[in-house]
A and B are shown apart, each in its own frame.
Chain A
Amino acid sequence: MKASFRGFFVLSLVGFVATCVFGVLGALRLLVPLEHLEFLSFVRLRPLHTFLAIASMVSGIVGLLHLALAKETEEGWGAVSRIQLVSLWGFVLAGVGTLFLGLGSGREYMSWSAPVALLLLLPVVLGFLQVVRNRAQLTARSPEGTWLLGLGFGLLGVGLLESYLWMLPAVGAHFVRDLTVQWHGIDAFIAGLNVCLYGASMFLMDKTARPLRKQTLLLVATFSLLFTFGHHHYASPQPAFLKVFAFVASMLAISSFVRHSRAYFSSRATKCVDDNGVEGLMRSVQLWTIVSLLSGILFAIPQLNVYLHGTHLVLIHAMGSMIGISLIIYAGIFKSSPLRLSDSQARRVRLCVRAINLSLIALWIALGAGGLYKGIARIETDYLLFAPKLVWMYGAFLALGGVLAVAMVALSVEALRFLKRGSDGS
């Protein structure tokens, strides 16, 4: 097994396990005061949870890129991959350390400080350059996958840079400018994660290259993702034609993924062997992609957005989307070696994936109901009156989130064991 992607996958899996631990502790803090454990306050746990989730996804994405590069160019463990891996480990360790010390940015999602952000920017920029440099070889395998990987790394870089424009006094001390840039930075960065993962998935599924879509469509998508709020901000005062473009653009990667996964599933329909667990994982990715697509369309309707924006319903939309598509990283891991999963391993992987899907569905129902209630109640009545009626939701969040976390940890352990087997065998 090529060590260049193994290191990124290990970091990603360790990060996902830590994400789950901090997530469960955070959910526990919602119900139990634990005032004597000040160092585990919710204010500290939540940014740690989101930080580690983001770090794990980026590391997994870089690993998937190296997996594609290793297969196409026989590129091994070079200086660039070493720099990327060291930088990502530095990002994780420095981020966790500074957040524990209360030295974060105090901002949503991009909770780490600016110097720490440089450790994330470096592997992202190098990833973009790697896609550009190897575009010919990658395009021969999957034109659309290459295009999406390039766009995705570009969006990650742009989103990251935008998220620190608040350090300029002209932005940071001006609430409307800061909020506008902050929304866009988060949108661009999250879009970058999704687009990269969908792009990388095409290298896992495609046996033969599928033709690229029309360049005009891709250019419109790029323009829209760079200069609008995608499907996230329909109350913004941008011209309607930009919003229509943005809506189409923000769904392009999703529709590309569905197009490729449908071809992959139909090509496998006649075969009886499991693709080392990849097919099951990709079916789950497709399920959560479709759920995200449909809920994204629904929530983007302004008349509904007024009620639903800023509620737990949007939270589970984001959770379902991010957790669902991060399974692409696990598919990449199981596809990264010629080794086969044993029958018992394959059974455990299927069980984990089923538990992830079921707990996410249950969370969708619980947080969906709670979010809808909150969205209506916050307009009709007062926070102090409706908030006590939502305590049950935090109980459901802890129970179902706990099942989800256990399943994610178990799947990560299986993937780590698979990587170790591959490493021992190489």
Chain B
Amino acid sequence: MSGGEPLGDEGLRLWRAGNCVACHSLYGLGGHLGPDLTNSIRRRGAGYASFVIQNGKGAMPRQDLKDEEVAALVGYLGRVNALGEYPLREKPHAAFGNNR
């Protein structure tokens, strides 16, 4: 993670209110049923995320959200995505990880 800009309130509020953490993780913290969503926007794009939220996919049920709420949630995931990468592709070299 490179920094930590303050995140939009509405997307964060929806993330918590929907208890998304029951199935999804961010930076590995959360449930393991669904994929880790740290870089979901970078990998699949905002359109795909919006579609899955609105229509569901596999074990993920469709979410009963308004368009602007979906946009806020996707916006939140976009800001999380911009903060760093998870899981790391690069292995640390030092015995207890790389110190920054």
Contact status A105-B16, CB under 8 Å: yes
Band of interface residues on B: 35 or more
**Contacting B3 at CB < 8 Å: which of A106, A176, A312, A374?**
A176
Encoded as 1 (CB less than 8 Å from any B CB) or 0, chain A from 290 to 305 comes to: 0000000000011101
Judge if A306 is at the interface, Cβ distance under 8 Å. yes
Chain B residues 15 to 41 lying within 8 A of chain A, measured CB to CB, are 15-23, 25-33, 35-36
Judge if A235 is at the interface, Cβ distance under 8 Å. yes
Q: Tell me whether A106 and B16 are in contact in the complex, defined as CB-CB below 8 angstroms, given that A183-B29, A235-B92, A302-B94 are known contacts.
A: yes
Residue ID in chain A nearest B9 by CB atoms: A173
Distance of A122 from chain B, by nearest CB (Å): 25
Binding site for A on B (CB under 8 A): 1, 3-7, 9, 12, 15-23, 25-33, 35-36, 43, 58-59, 61, 79-80, 83, 86-89, 91-92, 94-100
Taken together as a complex, chains A and B put the C-alpha atoms of A309 and B24 apart, in Å, by 14
Taken together as a complex, chains A and B put the C-alpha atoms of A311 and B58 apart, in Å, by 19
Contact status A244-B32, CB under 8 Å: no
Looking at chain A's contact residues, the main secondary structure is: helix
Distance of B42 from chain A, by nearest CB (Å): 13
Judge if A47 is at the interface, Cβ distance under 8 Å. yes
Encoded as 1 (CB less than 8 Å from any B CB) or 0, chain A from 172 to 192 comes to: 111111010011000000000
> Which residues of chain A come closer than 8 Å to B20, judged between CB atoms?
106
Judge if A239 is at the interface, Cβ distance under 8 Å. yes
Contact status B87-A309, CB under 8 Å: yes
Taken together as a complex, chains A and B put the C-alpha atoms of A387 and B20 apart, in Å, by 18
Residue ID in chain A nearest B43 by CB atoms: A382
Taken together as a complex, chains A and B put the C-alpha atoms of A177 and B12 apart, in Å, by 14
**Contacting B61 at CB < 8 Å: which of A41, A243, A310, A375?**
A41
> Which residues of chain B come closer than 8 Å to A301, judged between CB atoms?
95
- Count residues on chain A whose CB falls below 8 Å from chain B CBs: 53
Contact status B36-A240, CB under 8 Å: no
Distance of B32 from chain A, by nearest CB (Å): 6
Residue ID in chain A nearest B4 by CB atoms: A176
What would be 12 A-B contacts, judged by CB atoms less than 8 Å apart?
A: A30-B33, A33-B59, A42-B22, A42-B23, A47-B19, A108-B30, A172-B12, A175-B79, A183-B29, A301-B95, A302-B96, A312-B32
Taken together as a complex, chains A and B put the C-alpha atoms of A325 and B61 apart, in Å, by 36
> Which residues of chain A come closer than 8 Å to B15, judged between CB atoms?
106
Residue ID in chain B nearest A234 by CB atoms: B97
> Which residues of chain B come closer than 8 Å to A309, judged between CB atoms?
28, 87
Distance of A245 from chain B, by nearest CB (Å): 11
Contact status B16-A107, CB under 8 Å: yes
> Which residues of chain B come closer than 8 Å to A234, judged between CB atoms?
92, 96-97
> Which residues of chain B come closer than 8 Å to A35, judged between CB atoms?
61
Distance of B9 from chain A, by nearest CB (Å): 7
Contact status B4-A175, CB under 8 Å: yes
Encoded as 1 (CB less than 8 Å from any B CB) or 0, chain A from 99 to 118 comes to: 00010111110010000000
Besides A176-B3, A310-B36, 12 new A-B residue pairs in contact (Cβ under 8 A), listed by A number: A42-B23, A43-B19, A106-B19, A108-B30, A182-B29, A235-B88, A240-B99, A243-B97, A302-B98, A303-B92, A309-B87, A379-B89
Taken together as a complex, chains A and B put the C-alpha atoms of A374 and B25 apart, in Å, by 14
Encoded as 1 (CB less than 8 Å from any B CB) or 0, chain A from 280 to 323 comes to: 00000000000000000000011101110111100100000000
Contact status B25-A310, CB under 8 Å: yes
Taken together as a complex, chains A and B put the C-alpha atoms of A183 and B1 apart, in Å, by 14
Q: Tell me whether A240 and B94 are in contact in the complex, defined as CB-CB below 8 angstroms, given that A42-B33, A106-B15 are known contacts.
A: yes
Contact status B92-A302, CB under 8 Å: yes
> Which residues of chain A come closer than 8 Å to B58, judged between CB atoms?
387
Judge if A237 is at the interface, Cβ distance under 8 Å. yes
Residue ID in chain A nearest B83 by CB atoms: A175
